[in-house]
Every structure is written in C-alpha cells, then in structure tokens.
Amino acid sequence: MRWLVATVAETIPETARAVTLRLDVPDWPGHRAGQHVDVRLTADDGYQAQRSYSIASPPDSERLELTVERIDDGEVSPYLTTVADVGDQFELRGPVGGWFVWDAADDAPVLLVGGGSGVVPLRAMLHHHAASGSTAAMHLVQSARTLGDVIYRQELEALVGPRRALTVTLTRESPPDWGGHRGRVDAGLLAEVGWPPSAQPHCYVCGPTGFVETVADALVELGHEPRRIRTERFGPTGG
Amino acid sequence: MDTTLDGNAAAGALGDVFAFDVTMAMTTCATCGDRRPVAELRAYMDAPGIILRCASCSATQLRLVRAGDRAWLDLRGIQVLEIHGPAPAG
C-alpha cells in the first residue's frame, strides 16, 4: 500500500493529553467507520518510527481526522500532539483493517464501549450513524479517568438523539455534582445500560488491553455471543 | 502494564504481503485449536518484525520480517487460515 503525504490543516486540543489533527490528504481513497491508518515519521538522519492510529472522522467528512493521545515516552505521539502544527507534513497509509468496522446498512442495535482514547474509532461510528440516517439504535458507553479526560465530551453529547445514546462513567475522580456513572465498566453497568443479549446487538470494544479484556469478558458473562463482540486493543507501545 | 496490541494494528504491514485484508481471516491455532480472526490475535510490533500470538495459549501464530524488498512470513503456528471472499468466477 502506498504512503501518502498528509498536511496538517488544523489542530484541535481535546484534553490535556489528546489532540485532533485535521489533515489534507490528496488522493485519500475513502474509508469505513472504525478503520485506521499507519503513520510514519522520518527523522533528519533517516530513522523511521511507525504507529497505527484509528481514524476519528466518519467516511463522509471533508478532512481525514486523527485524535492522538500523548504517550510521554512514545516515539510518534509526542510529535503528533505537541509539535505538529498547521502546514507540517508526515506520511500515512491506509485505510487498513476491515475487522473493527461498522456498516451503516446493518440495522442491528450497536453497543460501543470505549476506554480513554479507545473512543476514537467509536466517534467515527457515531458520526457515521448520524450522517447516514441509520435506523439502528446505537449506544456509546465511554469510560475516562476524570471529567477532564473525557474526549469529545460536548461533541458527543450533542449527537444524542432518539437512536443515539451516551453513557459516561468516570473511574478515578468525579465532581460532586456529577450526574453520570462512577467506576469502571463492568457487567453491572453493561446490564444496566446496554441491550440484553436477546436484542443481538453488535458490540465494539476499544481501549487499553486490560480494559478490552475486562469488558469483553463481562459481555460474554452477560450472555452476549462472542462472535458479536469485536475488539481493538492498544497499549503504551501504541505511542 | 499492558504493552500488547492486537492484529488490527498489523493490518498495514500484512497488507504489504497479502493481496486481501488478512485481518478478517479466521485462524485456527495449531497448538490449542482456538479460533479467532487475525484482527484479534495479540500483536507484538516492537520485535524485529511483527509477531502475532494466540490470544488463548500465547503460541506464535505468525511472524513477518522484512528487509528491503524481501519479506519472510512464518505461518506455522496457524493450522488453518479460513478466508472469506467472493466465490471464484467461472
């Protein structure tokens, strides 16, 4: 697959650690909601570092968007989150990955569960759901450590409607007047806010490896069929 | 601390050697018989090359090493690779 040159058109701070990069990518072939790209940075001495990032924007968006969380000792994310500015260029290739993808033509209910920046590909699915006029019911359960760590907070709240629901849970600290959930995503929370297995929802789980394992196990424990649960994991090596 | 990714992260590199999206293909582990798509194998991207391991028993399923215009693909850990696609014409 060919490497393409991306030019930063805009940078949008999302949280203290996460930044959305809006990119101009000539010849971008289009993508499906949930796919990702490989980003490659080349240093002046020729050293190259490569990482995989989920695409944050839906298929019909004007520009390709990546939301990147800074990993302090990472090789790629510190550049993308703190150095890259409007006009800067880097290489990417994609879209890649056909597994963790939601298709708007499928009208089965959809449960999205995102931990931290695991919400990024799920954001693409929610926007795609809204733009496509899908009749499927879609519910995002978003987990973050603190309110300040919730990526896309106001944006996703604005997407809530008759067929789109949002549940946010804060795992580490929450304001006294916090009206959402507290604590980690577990079988109790999923049973309370998710669909019953009899509704046969598609489940998409994305986040750090431990988060994904816990949530996928909880869904199976509740009776969801493993084949309806799709997962995407990332760790600090994703930096 | 978690350091592993999964097969989704290897889609770009595997796309260089497979003519189709192999992350969608279903694997059967030669060691324990676990069945799951390549996308859900554990991925170790920091090795010299890429290693995908069984999510159930950790046996190596796939190794891909590249040097210049050559690639070495070791699939001995996968007993069967089940590929879904359109039926051949004819």
Question: What would the mean pLDDT of A224-231 be, rounded to a whole number?
Answer: 95
Question: What would the mean pLDDT of B17-38 be, rounded to a whole number?
Answer: 94
pLDDT at residue A73, as a whole number: 86
User: Which residues in chain A have their CB less than 8 angstroms from residue B15's CB?
Assistant: 1, 96
Min Cα separation A166/chain B (Å): 25
Nearest CA in chain B to A229: B40
What is the percent of chain B with per-residue pLDDT over 90, rounded to a whole number? 68
Res. B84: pLDDT tops 60? yes
Helices (H), ranges, A3-96: 77-78
Nearest CA in chain A to B3: A235
pLDDT at residue B67, as a whole number: 86
Question: What would the mean pLDDT of A11-17 be, rounded to a whole number?
Answer: 96
Tell me if ipTM is over 0.95.
Answer: no
pTM for the complete prediction?
A: 0.92
Question: What would the mean pLDDT of A44-66 be, rounded to a whole number?
Answer: 95
Q: Cα–chain-centroid distance for residue A189?
A: 20
Query: Could you tell me if A85 and A8 are in contact, meaning their C-beta atoms sit under 8 angstroms apart?
Result: yes
Helices (H), ranges, B10-51: 11-15
Question: What would the mean pLDDT of A94-123 be, rounded to a whole number?
Answer: 96
The partner residues of A68 in beta bridges, in order of sequence, read: A19
CA distance A135 to B49: 43
Give pLDDT tens digits for A173-213: 999 999 999 999 999 999 999 999 999 999 999 999 999 99
Res. B14: pLDDT tops 50? yes
First to last CA, chain B: 52
pLDDT at residue A237, as a whole number: 43
pLDDT at residue A238, as a whole number: 43
Strands A48-54, A4-13: parallel, antiparallel or unpaired by DSSP? unpaired
Q: What backbone phi and psi angles, to 5 degrees, belong to A221? A: -60, -35
Give ∠ CA A169-A212-A209 in degrees, rounded to 5.
115
> CA dist A178 to A61, B13, B74, Å?
33, 43, 52
Sign of CA dihedral A69, A231, B84, A202: negative
Name residue A37's amino acid: V
What is the percent of chain B with per-residue pLDDT over 70, rounded to a whole number? 92
Min Cα separation B14/chain A (Å): 10
Min Cα separation B13/chain A (Å): 9
Contact (CB<8Å) B2/A100: no
Question: What would the mean pLDDT of B24-49 be, rounded to a whole number?
Answer: 93
Give pLDDT tens digits for A57-68: 999 899 999 999
Res. B3: pLDDT tops 80? no
Give the confidence band of A53 by pLDDT, cuts at 50, 70, 90: very high
Sign of CA dihedral B84, B86, B89, B90: positive
What is the percent of chain A with per-residue pLDDT over 90, rounded to a whole number? 94
Name residue A17's amino acid: R
User: Which residues in chain A have their CB less than 8 angstroms from residue B13's CB?
Assistant: 38
Contact (CB<8Å) B5/A233: yes
Name residue A159's amino acid: L
Radius of gyration of chain B (CA): 13
Q: Is B11 on the interface with A (CB under 8 A)?
A: yes
Min Cα separation A162/chain B (Å): 32
> Which of B1, B8, B26, B52 to mutate against chain A (most A CBs within 10 Å)?
B8
Q: Is B61 on the interface with A (CB under 8 A)?
A: no
Mean of the per-residue pLDDT values for chain B?
89
For residue B86, what is the DSSP state? P
Res. A91: pLDDT tops 70? yes
User: Which residues in chain A have their CB less than 8 angstroms from residue B35's CB?
Assistant: none
Question: What would the mean pLDDT of A90-99 be, rounded to a whole number?
Answer: 95
Give the confidence band of A234 by pLDDT, cuts at 50, 70, 90: confident
Q: Residues of chain A whose C-beta is under 8 A from some C-beta in B?
A: 1, 36-38, 52, 93-94, 96-100, 208-210, 230-238
Of B22, B27, B19, B10, residue with least CA distance to B66: B10
